[in-house]
Structure 1
Amino acid sequence: MNAAETRTLLAALDAALARGQRAAIATVVQVWGSAYRREGTRMLVLDDGAQVCMLSGGCLEAEVVEAALEVIASGEARVVHYDLTEDATWGLGLGCGGSVDVRIERVDPDDEVTRGWLTALRSGQAAALVQPLEGPGRLLLVPDAAGEVQVSGQLPGGTPPEVLTLAQARLAAREPRAARAELPDGQALFIDLNAPAPELLIYGAGHDAVPLSAQAVALGYQVTVVDARAAFLTPGRFPGARLQLLATDQLDALSVSPRTQAVIMNHHLDRDRECLWHALGSPAAYVGVLGPRSRTQGLLDTLEGEGHVCTPEQLERLHSPVGLGIGAEAPEEVALSILAELMAWRRGGSGRPLNGLEGRIHQPQMGEALTY
């Protein structure tokens, strides 16, 4: 579930709680075969039957709302199994060839773990919520700025250290994903994750940076646009983005993390060269350069002539030309090409057409439970 969907869900939840309404959150906790969404996808259901966000393409929602209203009334969390196959006995008959388990829980804003989890979701802070698929108990893990994990709540019979290790490893992944764990005693746990929004750093505020920023914001990215030209860096051109007015010799003032994906598109050789050296020397995990490969090689050759020799590790992070080969021409199409490659890179996708692709469309997350 991306950051934009999470913001939408939380805004609706906060508004409902302020009106005195009760609510439940339904979360996909396991998928078998084909399904529209993956584990960790959430939907909000209010006590009047209203829903916010979706768990599928529209095929499950009515059934989930019905179950969620029962959970809201009883206060007892439950896991419901939905079969999406052609011969589904309960009448959907969708022919998707898969099935899903959905955990539904009433929101209790006075509960310590719930408050902490909602706070992490609102702030975009890394956190892991560990919940038994059957029975009571919940555990919240929130890494602090020093890297220490703050733990609240409890699980029945204590918390195996392996659960903490798994949750921390998942949070440290390039694209943190939910996980199902099965303990030696047979207890099944669902580890839901919240991660900070992915970061996109755009070097250059030209005409083609505008749709790239807009589309990235819509996909939940934290976008930063940097340029030395004040007339180009305006909120009207880049709504929702952070704007940084910096000359190329001031780029060290930028905040760059291992979660940053950088795209260089100044359309100016000197600025592109300086930005390329800055990006490769930063912790950014992905560095893309707009334009033909020969142009990027020329930038690297000039840098080498200036004594700036890139290491193999730096070059492994370099993507040139940036984007997938979809025949893009217009700026909006180029933005789509770039963001498609970024998503494939983050989530381990091939970037190839699904037609004719053998095997899984999605990387397996939980088809087989993690065991100890």
Structure 2
Amino acid sequence: MKELIQIIQQVKELQKTERKFVLATVVQVDGSAYRRPGARMLISEEGDWWGGISGGCLEGDILKKAQLALYSQEYKSITYDTREEDPFALGIGLGCQGVIEIHINPFQDQINQLVTALEDHIQGNVAHTLSICYAGDFQISLEEAAESHASKWAEDTFTEFLPAPMTVWLFGNQFDSHAFIHQAALLSWRVNWVGILSKMKANLPVNGRSSYEDFGTIKNSDYVVMMTHDLDKDVKILQRLIELHTKPAYVGILGPKKRFEKLQNHFEADLVTQLPIATPIGLDLGAEGPEEIAISILAEILSIKNNRNGQRLHLRDRAIHE
């Protein structure tokens, strides 16, 4: 999501100065690769670039191919086979072992249409299927997606799944909430901050601020992080979620198990059966201090979002990206 936002912003900046640019997109991967289909790299006519299509090993060659596409005003498709053992082949000695296909689009009006579609997606709160047809008349469509699906490149058409923008409701205005907000901003997550308004710092990068008494509607696709350090406030928050029949994707509550037992005593029904509660919050990283704790919480949310268990990758018995 952060990369999409960055590319949108840079396209607009380049347009202001009337500089030309191209957009390179990973459209297909077979085997291991640092980036997956949908990764993008925006390249200006001067060779400045934003985003990326690999871990840095292919970007230099793509810069040259981009200039050729810009000069010829023609699409270019490039395939990199990093499995090759030929010492003269690009890719020898690289960390990945796969085939990566890149599509380069030099047409400004088409990139502008894509930016418009991406903006529509980012401003919403649902997942979409983005389809781009490069054959014949350029066509692009954005439709709401009921479920996740793999990206596909076939017959000059790239179909991509765009997950719903990450929206997190953060309850609590103590100093440890500041660390979470800063870390979430690095990922371009939307944070709706809820707390005591008079005690909330004004210069933190949040989507919105609201009080405990009036914090708006939490959707089922949203994530909830409770860092209030106040048992009574946590009880009221959970009561409201239950009364409104809201079941977010995740409800993480700061504090030890004994604290949650005290929370449970305020409710007749089992809280865990009503809400997807995680407490103590975060992954087991041995985190200490606000910054490390924030990382462990964000990591747990990512594991829930991506349906992973948060284990170390070397213990995984399947491909990293299936």
User: If the TM-score is normalised by the length of the shorter chain, which range does it land in?
Assistant: 0.7 to 0.9
Within 2, Cα distance between the matches of 1:107 and 1:319? Answer: 47
Shift of 1:200: 0.6
What letter matches 1:243 in structure 2? R
Verify: 1:282 aligned to 2:246, yes or no.
Answer: yes
Verify: 1:29 aligned to 2:27, yes or no.
Answer: yes
2:158 counterpart SS class: strand
Partner of 2:221: 259
Shift of 1:128: 3.5
Partner of 2:56: 58
What letter matches 2:91 in structure 1? L
Partner of 2:131: 130
Partner of 1:153: none
Verify: 1:243 aligned to 2:209, yes or no.
Answer: yes
Partner of 1:220: 188
The answer to whether the 8 A contact 1:27-1:104 is kept is: yes
Q: What's the TM-score once normalised by structure 2's chain length?
A: 0.88
Deviations 1:239-281, CA, capped at 9 Å, x for gaps: 334211233xx4xx41312221001111111111111233454
The answer to whether the 8 A contact 1:130-1:138 is kept is: no
What letter matches 2:130 in structure 1? L
The answer to whether the 8 A contact 1:107-1:114 is kept is: no
Shift of 1:313: 5.4
The answer to whether the 8 A contact 2:23-2:111 is kept is: no
The answer to whether the 8 A contact 1:85-1:95 is kept is: no
Within 2, Cα distance between the matches of 1:295 and 1:335? Answer: 19
Name the structure, 1 or 2, with higher relative contact order (CA <8 Å, separation 6+).
1
Shift of 1:28: 0.9
Identical residues among aligned pairs (%): 28
The answer to whether the 8 A contact 2:218-2:246 is kept is: yes
Within 2, Cα distance between the matches of 1:105 and 1:240? Answer: 34
1:239 counterpart SS class: coil
Shift of 1:297: 3.0
The answer to whether the 8 A contact 1:264-1:276 is kept is: no
Unaligned stretches of 5+ residues in structure 2: none
Partner of 1:179: 151
1:234 counterpart SS class: coil
Partner of 1:351: 310
The answer to whether the 8 A contact 1:178-1:190 is kept is: no
The answer to whether the 8 A contact 2:32-2:98 is kept is: yes
Shift of 1:188: 6.2
Partner of 2:83: 85
Q: How does 1:61-210 map to 2 (within 5 A)?
A: 61-85=59-83, 87=85, 89-93=88-92, 94-109=94-109, 113-114=113-114, 116-120=116-120, 123=123, 127-132=128-133, 135-143=135-143, 168=144, 171-173=145-147, 179-180=151-152, 187=155, 189-210=157-178
Verify: 1:342 aligned to 2:301, yes or no.
Answer: yes
1:210 counterpart SS class: helix
Unaligned stretches of 5+ residues in structure 1: 144-167, 365-372
Partner of 2:9: 11
* Matched positions, count: 317
